[in-house]
Structure 1
Amino acid sequence: MTSSLDGALDRAVFNFIVASIKTHVGGNVYTNSLLCFCAALGINRHPLGYLEPHLYTGMLAGILWWARLFFLEAVFENQPVDQDEVGIEAVLAFREEHTSWMCIGTHSVISTIIGWMAYGKGYRQKNGGQPSIRWSDDEEGLFHMGEHISVEDFTCTLRDEVTEAEKLLNGLFGGVWQTVSKKIDMGRIVDNMIRLGAGQSFASNPKNKWLEAGPAKVMRLMEASIWDAARVRWKRQRVKRWLRDLRLLRETLLVLVHTWGGLPGRGPEITTLRHCDSWQLIRNVFILDGQVMIVTDRDKMKAIRDNGRKVARFIPDRIGRMVVAYIAWLLPTERVLRQECQLNEPHGEQLEYMWRDGSSSVWETDRLSKKLARVMQAGTGVRLGVGRYRAIAIEMGRRIRGLVIRQLEGKMDDEDEDENVEIDPITGEPVDCGGSWNIVWDLQSTHGTRIARQHYAVHIGFPGKLQPEMIATFKEISKLWHQFLESAEEGKEKKVPKRKQGSQKTDKQG
């Protein structure tokens, strides 16, 4: 009885929401129940007033997301679940319905919500980010959203996490990780910066045969622990314990790659890393001149066409060896153990990703954020998820001498109009194709700098049009960040730049 009532209630709610979406509105949009609800969300009771645009726009985006789900369900309600079985009549009907109710300029509910979002986004961009961070008077830490984060605690926490990863690796390699690590000759690893084919990476390169990529190395070291020679069978509990430790290492290594690679990107850039090529996309992990290089793309849709905006981050040697061991030895070992012990295995489309466990899908940003928050809570006393960590790391990065952004800011300060300064996507340097910032070398070749970099002598050895000059710039930024994290006390004297007189206090002499 209860089940039938619940079903009737679900159907009534579903029909009500769909009817609220499929409605045209005129001047008084608040006669529509859904738009009235959206408007009410914009009122903040404590303190009384309107919600900030950066918060309200996000709420509207969430409503738009589930409204689209309801719309799709309503249009395809009587169609087969399998997409391949949906007929052309249903597809054409969907296009007609979508044009009527889900596009801008249709005077519909969704059109109004999209308009509000565009207005909020424009207001937010015009007013910039919300002030939330400042340095303490002694310049030994900073405040974010009213909470104090010590620079020393911040850097010490990330250094301790490296030690924690090494402890986990020591257990995964039978107590001899230090010996194994020293035998990884990073400078000897050969890698190609172009797409090699599905499943290919530095670990499959024939020139790296000496690395013994595969499960054999770990199996030899762990044989006594996970294999019962007398009964000729696996010690399932020991195997499960090993896999659990591997999951803990994954979480720790995920945090290390995110925090030690340089100035941080957004969560999805790290959580969707591929250690090998997929059927369509190039991998994200490379070995360049003996150092692990992580290449990500800010625009995933453009990445499919290899036309996105690439960013390179370099991992310090100590963590780089962990990444090599993880890709070359631990991932193959995990796959063998799961097959042999008939445990949950990753699906075929998940094998290329760095961060996943068992048969789970790719880990999402929320997992990285929770792990990072736990680590920072323990080390600094403040919970710093991905969003808060990014703001703090960027502010600390501005204090490190040599970051190219200081050079750019200095040149932009000298310009009468900042809009005249464009950024060269190849080198990261300011370029004004009107003439003032064009490189004379390129002008002598009868073309501007932008044409030169995009069409002439484009380097074949680097992924996604990420040219050597830009990689060198990214490498220097990562190096400066490594130095900052590795030597906090030294960094106060050597890495903090002298600030302009009159705008900030001068550094205290140690």
Structure 2
Amino acid sequence: MELEDLFYYDPSWRIIVCKQCGVVPQTNITRHIRRHHNATRAFKVAAIKLFERSLDHLPLIRDADEICKNVRPLPIADPIRFLDVFHGGICCLLCQDDRDRYVCRGRTAIEDHLRKVHNQPLRQPGRRRRGEAGGVKGLTQAGLVRTPVACQTLFHGTRCRYFIVKARKVHEEIEESPSGSDAGSDATNMGPAFTQPRLEDIINLQLAQQENENSAISNQTGFNISFLSSDPRHQSQWLRVTEWPRFLEPHKQELPQVAALVSLPNLAKSYELGSPGSSEILLSILLDSLSRVITRSRSSLQDGTLNAFDQHRLNSFIAGRSSRKPLIHNLREDTYKKYSRVLQHLMCYIFRLAWLKRGPKLHYRLTEGQAVAMMDAVHTASEMSGASGDGQNPDHAEEIRKRLDDKCLILMVSLLDHKLYGDVYDSIVVSFLAVMGIRQDVTSSNAQKLSEAAEFTPKLSALIKMGQLLVAERALLAVELDEADVPAHPLEEMQDRFMTKDARSPISWSLKLRAYGKAVKDNTTSLGYIMWSDDNEILSYKKMRFSMTGLRDLVSAEVEAAQNQLADLLLVPPDTERKHIVPQVSLRSVVDDPSEGAPGWNFTCHPQNEVLHGHRRWILDRILKEAFLRRDFFDNELTGKWRLQTIGRYLTTVNAFLERLLLLVHITGGQPARGTELLCIQHSNPRDGSGGRRNIFVENGLVSFVTYYHKGYSVTGTTKIIHRYLPSNVGELLLYYVWLIVPFLSQLSQLIKIPGFKQGSTPYLWGEFSISQLLLSGNTNVQTLLKNY
């Protein structure tokens, strides 16, 4: 017997039933099989775990308590398939809810229920009056219970709970039995709620059954009607162009199995559970090799192994012509991860479909070169799997690894080299794109739909970009294998053959779909998430709502909190107003020169700002002059030893103030800036002359910060300069911080020599992390470094 024959999946209740045991497994599938069906060890552990993982795509209710809570059929519902049906059940008629009526199979259990739950005084054993029956029959005559009823239970043991199901054979047997006339009349008289169910229950059951049937049909087909309907109101032009419905319609009953062909394996579990040479191990080795090939391709472009002329040619999609720009390969790391994942899905797809012949029989035709390349790659992976071990020669292992990477590279490039003169789905890459278009339906956990243009074009871009990288590396490999003298010759030949718009290849198909998908996206109305009230006071975003008054109150509260933190940083006592201690300055009187590029220069250095001059040591002088501050900041005034806990608290306040200042600048500085813009703001020109120029200026009494908007710089090659102005109360916070606090932080970094503390020496407003928390916590490493400062 196969493992698949042991279990039945009920889509209506989303449960798994063991056919042999007649119950729902209370534990996981693996443990149930080991306990009850593997006494002879006919099933291997790896096979059992692999079977359990094959159920992951099903919307199962796995928790036993949740199953008891959700699986509550009506009394007139059909029995759940493969669950044992008991025809001698006893049902309590005093329970009101039909779904929660107490059902058992023994006299003691029903008597305990009536006594404890319903406080029924049951007759004690002894002599009965004439005509009075005892036991369950007596309870039936008293109208307390009904028996027999057909019932089922989900579990055995402590979670055993019976529920009534419809079983006409029971009633027929009662009516036809010789002794069943009296019992039948009693059942009819005492249990009218069961022989004649309420109209409301009948209607509810009919609706529930119809919904379950519709859900089952939807789950089986997996298609939205708009994908295949001939009704012009339900047609998708995007799907008409991709031809996915034509390719997938013959397999619409097995879409989950089709989608599983591209699923990525768990590499850790594959190495742990699989034996050397097994399919899972081979697939894992091929995926590791593919990752190394992609990394090698990136390195070849970054270190200039492929020169600029070749990169311009590689970036062109027109035969015989070079692009005006080189290939863009300096992508973000997370972008490379997403792009690499598409190639990993492709490797899983071709390995399972073309090599293992697993899953639905999808249409594809491998060329001779593709078949040979796949055979070489898989055989080399098998050789590497068999040669793995502790006693392996490192040089031999590296030689096999290098050979496998080369075979994997040749395989992936050969998949792109496919002339499509017949059906476009002759290419296994084109069929892979159709399978990648299958996605989970958000409205149903067990249904599939096809991706729309906006969500699928990034996958096409990933295939195209990674294809360019692989072609570049294949050209370099051709030189290494003495197939060419320079990489330019094979690169140009491959580029013209299958990497252009008119090449009749998988890449040209991908370029066509991407161009059409982008056009659809640009001309399709996006989902509306933002709504304003009639008076423009309430803003709704998805499920959130907030008012403009609340936003203004938030900003006011944050400004007040920032001013209190600024007073703490300026060492103002709690019972003293800041204006009585701190030098006052008006933003209107501050002059700035944006053209000044001297190292370390900012607006406090301008000759006309005499009110700002001479205050670089203002905080330090206050500490030295005020006795209470000296006691707080110094452990020993005679030796000048600073108290590290006080310094740690001060730096913590600096961090908190800068966090709040970042929030205020982000909210009140006009159009919100990107994080990369804000965190690159510099309050002074860099002292070493590198790192650009300062971004903070004072103009007509307003503090402004100028950022470079560089999103898409790698594509356009240009940046946009954006000026943002801060409200006066937020600008004042920034002015005092740059004027008085930044010099003190610089002096602290010189006096105490705190390891890793660069807040006082960096020109960036939101500089590097200070170690205030380490000072406060008494970190032993920091204390050791500072004990003799």
Higher relative contact order (CA 8 A, sep 6+): 1
Which residue of the partner structure matches residue 187 of structure 1? Answer: 588
The answer to whether residue 442 in structure 2 is matched with residue 46 in structure 1 is yes
Alignment equivalent of 1:199, drawn from 600, 621, 627: 600
127-136 vs 309-318, which deviates more?
127-136
Q: How many Å separate the matches in 2 of 1:54 and 1:271? A: 31
The answer to whether residue 744 in structure 2 is matched with residue 333 in structure 1 is yes
| Per-residue Cα deviation, 1:306-336 (whole angstroms, up to 9, x for no partner) | 9743322211111111111222333333333
Map residues 242-321 of structure 1 onto 2, 5 A cutoff: 242-278=650-686, 279=690, 281-299=692-710, 308-321=719-732
Partner-residue secondary structure (3-state), 2:746: helix
Which residue of the partner structure matches residue 555 of structure 2? Answer: 158
Amino acid of the structure 1 residue aligned with 2:528? P
| Per-residue Cα deviation, 1:456-491 (whole angstroms, up to 9, x for no partner) | xxxxxxxxxxxxxxxxxxxxxxxxxxxxxxxxxxxx
List runs of 5+ in structure 2 lacking aligned partners: 1-267, 273-280, 294-408, 478-485, 772-789
CA contact (8 A) 1:286 1:292 kept: yes
Q: How many Å separate the matches in 2 of 1:241 and 1:332? A: 18
Cα distance change of structure 1 residues 259 and 58 upon mapping to structure 2, 3 Å threshold: farther
Which residue of the partner structure matches residue 755 of structure 2? Answer: 343
Partner-residue secondary structure (3-state), 2:671: coil
Amino acid of the structure 2 residue aligned with 1:298? Y
Cα distance change of structure 1 residues 129 and 36 upon mapping to structure 2, 3 Å threshold: same
Map residues 137-152 of structure 1 onto 2, 5 A cutoff: 139-152=536-549
Cα distance change of structure 1 residues 123 and 226 upon mapping to structure 2, 3 Å threshold: farther
The answer to whether residue 644 in structure 2 is matched with residue 236 in structure 1 is yes
Q: How many Å separate the matches in 1 of 2:555 and 2:489? A: 51
- 1:172 Cα deviation from its structure 2 partner: 1.2
Which residue of the partner structure matches residue 36 of structure 1? Answer: 432
Kindly name which structure, 1 or 2, has the bigger radius of gyration based on alpha carbons: 2
- 1:163 Cα deviation from its structure 2 partner: 1.4
The percentage of aligned residue pairs carrying the same residue is 21
- 1:99 Cα deviation from its structure 2 partner: 11
| Per-residue Cα deviation, 1:104-124 (whole angstroms, up to 9, x for no partner) | 759788887777655544433
CA contact (8 A) 2:501 2:511 kept: no
| Per-residue Cα deviation, 1:395-423 (whole angstroms, up to 9, x for no partner) | xxxxxxxxxxxxxxxxxxxxxxxxxxxxx
Cα distance change of structure 1 residues 149 and 341 upon mapping to structure 2, 3 Å threshold: same
- 1:144 Cα deviation from its structure 2 partner: 0.8
Partner-residue secondary structure (3-state), 1:200: coil
Map residues 33-182 of structure 1 onto 2, 5 A cutoff: 36=432, 40=436, 43-47=439-443, 48-51=448-451, 53-57=453-457, 119-127=516-524, 129-136=526-533, 139-175=536-572, 178-179=578-579
| Per-residue Cα deviation, 1:65-103 (whole angstroms, up to 9, x for no partner) | 9999999999999xxxxxxxxxxxxxx969987996898
Partner-residue secondary structure (3-state), 2:707: strand
Which residue of the partner structure matches residue 288 of structure 2? Answer: 14
RMSD of aligned residue pairs (Cα, Å): 4.8
Amino acid of the structure 2 residue aligned with 1:15? S
- 1:253 Cα deviation from its structure 2 partner: 0.7
Q: How many Å separate the matches in 1 of 2:430 and 2:544? A: 38
Amino acid of the structure 1 residue aligned with 2:654? L
CA contact (8 A) 2:704 2:726 kept: yes
Partner-residue secondary structure (3-state), 1:43: strand
Partner-residue secondary structure (3-state), 1:149: strand
Which residue of the partner structure matches residue 356 of structure 1? Answer: 767
Q: How many Å separate the matches in 2 of 1:188 and 1:306? A: 39
Partner-residue secondary structure (3-state), 1:142: strand
Amino acid of the structure 1 residue aligned with 2:732? R
Q: How many Å separate the matches in 2 of 1:310 and 1:172? A: 33
- 1:282 Cα deviation from its structure 2 partner: 3.2
List runs of 5+ in structure 1 lacking aligned partners: 78-91, 361-510
Map residues 451-466 of structure 1 onto 2, 5 A cutoff: none
CA contact (8 A) 1:293 1:313 kept: yes
CA contact (8 A) 2:651 2:770 kept: no
Q: How many Å separate the matches in 2 of 1:236 and 1:295? A: 37
- 1:191 Cα deviation from its structure 2 partner: 0.8
Q: How many Å separate the matches in 1 of 2:769 and 2:712? A: 27
Which residue of the partner structure matches residue 195 of structure 2? Answer: none
CA contact (8 A) 1:293 1:314 kept: yes
- 1:290 Cα deviation from its structure 2 partner: 1.7
Cα distance change of structure 1 residues 210 and 29 upon mapping to structure 2, 3 Å threshold: farther
| Per-residue Cα deviation, 1:173-222 (whole angstroms, up to 9, x for no partner) | 11268326771221222211225144322133344353147752232345
Cα distance change of structure 1 residues 49 and 357 upon mapping to structure 2, 3 Å threshold: same
- 1:156 Cα deviation from its structure 2 partner: 1.2
Cα distance change of structure 1 residues 146 and 188 upon mapping to structure 2, 3 Å threshold: same
Amino acid of the structure 2 residue aligned with 1:226? F
Q: How many Å separate the matches in 1 of 2:464 and 2:770? A: 31
Q: How many Å separate the matches in 2 of 1:215 and 1:271? A: 25
Amino acid of the structure 1 residue aligned with 2:551? F
Partner-residue secondary structure (3-state), 1:127: coil
Partner-residue secondary structure (3-state), 2:764: coil
- 1:254 Cα deviation from its structure 2 partner: 0.9
| Per-residue Cα deviation, 1:249-292 (whole angstroms, up to 9, x for no partner) | 11111111111112324333323222233536332211001210
265-274 vs 105-114, which deviates more?
105-114
Q: How many Å separate the matches in 1 of 2:677 and 2:543? A: 28
Q: How many Å separate the matches in 2 of 1:345 and 1:35? A: 56
- 1:59 Cα deviation from its structure 2 partner: 6.6
| Per-residue Cα deviation, 1:433-463 (whole angstroms, up to 9, x for no partner) | xxxxxxxxxxxxxxxxxxxxxxxxxxxxxxx
Amino acid of the structure 2 residue aligned with 1:178? R
- 1:166 Cα deviation from its structure 2 partner: 1.3
Alignment equivalent of 1:208, drawn from 602, 609, 621: 609
| Per-residue Cα deviation, 1:347-385 (whole angstroms, up to 9, x for no partner) | 99x93322233379xxxxxxxxxxxxxxxxxxxxxxxxx
Q: How many Å separate the matches in 2 of 1:205 and 1:244? A: 31
CA contact (8 A) 2:746 2:759 kept: no
CA contact (8 A) 1:345 1:359 kept: yes
Q: How many Å separate the matches in 2 of 1:301 and 1:134? A: 29
